[in-house]
Amino acid sequence: MSTGCVIGVDLGGSKLLAGAVDPALNVHHRATRPAREANQSAVLDAVVGVVTEVRDAIEGASGTVEAVGFGIPCLIDQARGVAVMAVNLPIAGIPFADLMAERLGLPAFVDNDANAAMLAEWRYGAAQGARDAAMLTLGTGIGGGLVVGGVLQRGSQGAGAELGHMVVHADGPQCQGNCPNRGCLEAMCSGTALAREAVKIARGRPDSGLGRALAGGREINGPLVTELAYDGDAAAIAAISLIGRWLGVGIANLVNMLNPDVVIVGGGVIAAGELLLEPARAEVAERALSPSKEHVRILPARFGAESGMLGAAALALDGIGTPV
């Protein structure tokens, strides 16, 4: 292989995904590793490690790596490339792009992870051709991306489109990490919320597959709940449906505020597919206003959980003047 690539990195609240991507959006190598590190230094070391793994694989196959792009779960000061505020990881207050460029010896570009995912889906995926679009990325937390009038929105300071922190339940649970609020969309329908609600349902239905998994000491997390739901377990289906209804409340707010052409749902939780989206669409049909609710399409991300990685790669390709 003699392909010139960039590396796109999606740094989530619990895992890292990196991929070598060429200008035709082909992925030549992928690497993942956990990202739940206790301190900033360990997180940065993990990021450098996963990029180095991908770079070594590409260069070992006679390819080249020209730049690296990062989507990180943080508010970004675009003028300075500084990670300003992070809810779920200890990465705030560092000049992320400059630091990575120095440690890796490559041009480095950075944006919020959900902005990166929105970029990939808007340019090449489920939102392609839309003038107005929104995206929610459901993982450990919830990220948001917005395109308004054909422009990706970042806000006046780069801190805009934090859609996961709209409040949908004023008396809801405390939001996680560094968020001071209660009842945020993130607190109600993230992967973390799905695990929390699934445990509650499992305790109330001990004879269900979900109940037996809990009693057997298995970790109740999003992938397990989704697996059991696809196997037909009613308790797991109920957990996903509950999360889907709260997702629909959030999407209805977006539909009423923005009148988008499309709302894309991505992140790891979208593995639940229509089990998640069907109750969300039903909630939107009840809560959103006409004509917006008849116009909007609510779709899964075309690239699934890889939207953020591909969007980060697109950032790098743009940065070196080689757009897809």
How much is the average pLDDT of 83-92? 67
How much is the average pLDDT of 36-42? 74
**Topology match between the domains 4-117+306-319 and 128-301:** yes
pLDDT digits (tens, 9 = 90+) for 237-285: 999 999 999 999 999 999 999 999 999 999 989 999 999 999 999 999 9
The predicted pLDDT at position 87 comes to 64
The predicted pLDDT at position 85 comes to 64
Count of other CB atoms within 10 angstroms of residue 89: 23
Q: Quick check: 266 and 300 in contact, CB under 8 A?
A: yes
| CATH number 1.10.3720.10 is the correct assignment for the domain at 4-117+306-319 | no
Mean pLDDT score across all residues of the chain: 91
More confident residue, 72 or 92: 72
More confident residue, 34 or 298: 298
| Residue owning tokens 């730049």 | 67
How much is the average pLDDT of 40-65? 89
Name the residue among 83, 185, 86 with its Cα closest to residue 142. Answer: 185
Q: What are the φ and ψ backbone dihedral angles of 301, each rounded to 5 degrees?
A: -60, 135
Please check the confidence at residue 200 and state whether its pLDDT lies above 90: yes
**Range of weakest confidence among 30-39, 142-151, 163-172:** 30-39
How much is the average pLDDT of 230-235? 98
The predicted pLDDT at position 124 comes to 93
Name the residue among 289, 284, 262, 256 with its Cα closest to residue 132. Answer: 262
Q: Quick check: 212 and 205 in contact, CB under 8 A?
A: no
How many whole angstroms separate alpha carbon 115 and alpha carbon 145?
Answer: 5
Q: How large a percentage of the chain has pLDDT more than 90?
A: 72
Return the structure tokens found at 169. Answer: 């339940």
Q: Would you list the domain boundaries of the chain?
A: 4-117+306-319, 128-301
Please check the confidence at residue 27 and state whether its pLDDT lies above 50: yes
How does residue 38 score in pLDDT terms, banded at 50, 70 and 90?
low
The hierarchical CATH code for the domain 128-301 is 3.30.420.40
More confident residue, 310 or 161: 310
The predicted pLDDT at position 1 comes to 40
The predicted pLDDT at position 135 comes to 97
The predicted pLDDT at position 216 comes to 97
Please check the confidence at residue 108 and state whether its pLDDT lies above 80: yes
Q: How large a percentage of the chain has pLDDT more than 70?
A: 92
How many whole angstroms separate alpha carbon 100 and alpha carbon 48?
Answer: 8
Question: For 205, left (φ over 0), alpha (ψ -120 to 50), or beta?
Answer: beta
The predicted pLDDT at position 2 comes to 43
Q: Is 77 exposed, middle or buried (0-12, 13-18, 19+ CB in 10 A)?
A: middle
How many whole angstroms separate alpha carbon 262 and alpha carbon 247?
Answer: 15
Q: Is 287 exposed, middle or buried (0-12, 13-18, 19+ CB in 10 A)?
A: middle
